[in-house]
Amino acid sequence: MAVVFVRPKIPKLAPDPWAIQFDGEGRLKHLLTIEGLGPDWITRILDTAESFLSVTGREVKKVPLLRGRTVVNLFFESSTRTRTTFELAAKRLSADVLNLNISTSAATKGESLLDTLRNIEAMQADMFVVRHAASGAAHFIARHVAPHVSVLNAGDGRHAHPTQALLDVFTIRKMKGDFTPLRVAIVGDILHSRVARSQIHALNTLNTGEVRVIAPRTLLPAQVEKLGVRVFHDMREGLRDVDVIIMLRLQRERMEGALLPSEDEFFCLYGLTPEKLAWAKPDAIVMHPGPANRGVEIDSEVADGPQSVILQQVSNGIAVRMAVMSLCMGGREE
């Protein structure tokens, strides 16, 4: 089926900004953000992922759910890890996969995002997996694609990275079970992190006991507490009685905007070392969305230590993405 892009003169917006994620019958069609999913949908995605985990363990790792469908990975921002896990997930569902890395140079040549989308019209896609540097890009694409195309947000600017957040809560659920008694601390560059925003929404939707953020004020967005988190600037206080520690990647360019004096000072204050880890609960788990900057936000001893679940996150990522893909494409006639 050809992808036809409709371009209304004036985009008419739904009254609920997140309603666009569902079709007329309330089925999940796009995954753009965690907001608006509610606990039922998140639980359904996690349960579906659980059933796919066994597929991943089999010798023949394929199920035929998306046979004959085409998934296009549309990456406007470079990424190897995320793209690879989406690609693997699609292939294990027997879909055909097309990877398009659209460098920023194409955009600077004057080609608009809509032009780019029109150019892949001919490629007959059923699903776009999109990563883009602008917040809201996934919504924009979802608003402009033909009605039969699903859009999965693989990261848009600082806004959202819903599949990463889902695989994180999946990992937490496997390790800890119930969310209500848990204290979860997210540490580092919250300001620029789409991962953190999606994690906060996911954890709060699942009724997590307490979600904390730990960072200097320069790395926190304005009124971050309104996202439903408790704010700490000190690691010792922030990590006390915590069950889950999520470390965020610190981009090196943050030094230039005068957000931090140096990597050394950041590591000294917020880098997760065995000493700081000891301030959390003894059975606390350590997570990182990757790729980790060892020696900047996390010490190798912790990243490779017994409390780290970083590698489990990666393999859970495939099952969670399979779940999201099959649910978004489910309930439609062949």
Partner 1 sequence: MSNAMNKAYFAQGQDMDHLRPPEGCRPGVDCESWIIRGARVLDPASGLDTITDVFIDKAGIVGVGQAPAGFATDNVLDAAGLWLIPGVIDSWARLREPGQEHKATVESEARAATASGITTVCVPPDTDPVIDTPAVVRLIKRRAQLAGGARVMSIGALTQDLAGKRLAEMVDLKEAGCVAVTNILRPVESLAIMRRALEYAATFGILVIVQPQDPSLAHKGCAHEGAVASRLGLPGIPVAAETAAMAQVLALVEETGARVHFANLSSASAVRLLERAIDDGLPVTGGVSAHQLFLSEMDTDAFDPNTHVIPPLRTLRDRDALREGVASGAISVIHSDHQPHEGDAKAAPFPEAEPGISTLETLLPLTLRLVEDGVLPLHDALQRVTSGPAQLLGLKAGGIAAGLRADLCLFDPEAAWTLDADSMLSRGRNTPFHGWDFNGQVTHSWVAGRLVFRRAGQP
Site of interaction with partner 1 (CB under 8 A):
7, 9-14, 17, 112-114, 132, 134-137, 139-140, 144, 156-160, 194, 197, 221-224, 226-227
The answer to whether the CB of 235 falls within 8 A of the CB of 215 is no
Q: In the chain, what is the straight-line distance between the N-terminal and C-terminal CA atoms, in Å?
A: 11
Closest CA to 304 of 289, 322, 292, 317: 292
Q: How far is the CB of 135 from partner 1 (least distance, A)?
A: 4
Structure tokens at 314: 């990666």
Catalytic residue among 161, 192, 254, 276: 161
Residue type (1 letter), 215: A
Query: To 10 degrees, what angle do helices 194-205 and 38-57 make?
Result: 110
218 in catalytic set: no
CB atoms within 10 A of CB 109: 8
Catalytic residue among 29, 30, 33, 82: 82
CB atoms within 10 A of CB 43: 15
Helix/strand/coil percentages in the chain, nearest 5? 40, 15, 45
* CA atoms within a 13 Å half-sphere pointing along the CA-CB vector of 46: 22
Closest CA to 129 of 159, 107, 157, 97: 97
61 in catalytic set: no
Q: How far is the CB of 223 from partner 1 (least distance, A)?
A: 4
Q: How far is the CB of 16 from partner 1 (least distance, A)?
A: 8
Q: How far is the CB of 323 from partner 1 (least distance, A)?
A: 24
Whose Cβ is closer to partner 1: residue 226's or residue 252's? 226
CA 256 to chain CA centroid, nearest Å? 26
201 in catalytic set: no
131 in catalytic set: yes
Catalytic residue among 9, 12, 109, 252: 109
Whose Cβ is closer to partner 1: residue 100's or residue 107's? 107
Q: How far is the CB of 34 from partner 1 (least distance, A)?
A: 11
Whose Cβ is closer to partner 1: residue 218's or residue 300's? 218
DSSP secondary-structure letter at 31? B
Whose Cβ is closer to partner 1: residue 56's or residue 116's? 116
Which residues have CB under 8 Å from 312's CB, separation 6+?
171, 174
Q: How far apart are CA 190 and CA 223, in angstroms?
A: 12
Q: How far apart are CA 138 and CA 151, in angstroms?
A: 7
Whose Cβ is closer to partner 1: residue 63's or residue 227's? 227
Whose Cβ is closer to partner 1: residue 128's or residue 140's? 140
161 in catalytic set: yes
Q: How far is the CB of 6 from partner 1 (least distance, A)?
A: 12
Whose Cβ is closer to partner 1: residue 36's or residue 124's? 36
Q: How far apart are CA 193 and CA 297, in angstroms?
A: 14
Catalytic residue among 83, 131, 183, 276: 131
Q: How far is the CB of 155 from partner 1 (least distance, A)?
A: 10
* Residues annotated as part of the active site: 81-82, 109, 131, 161
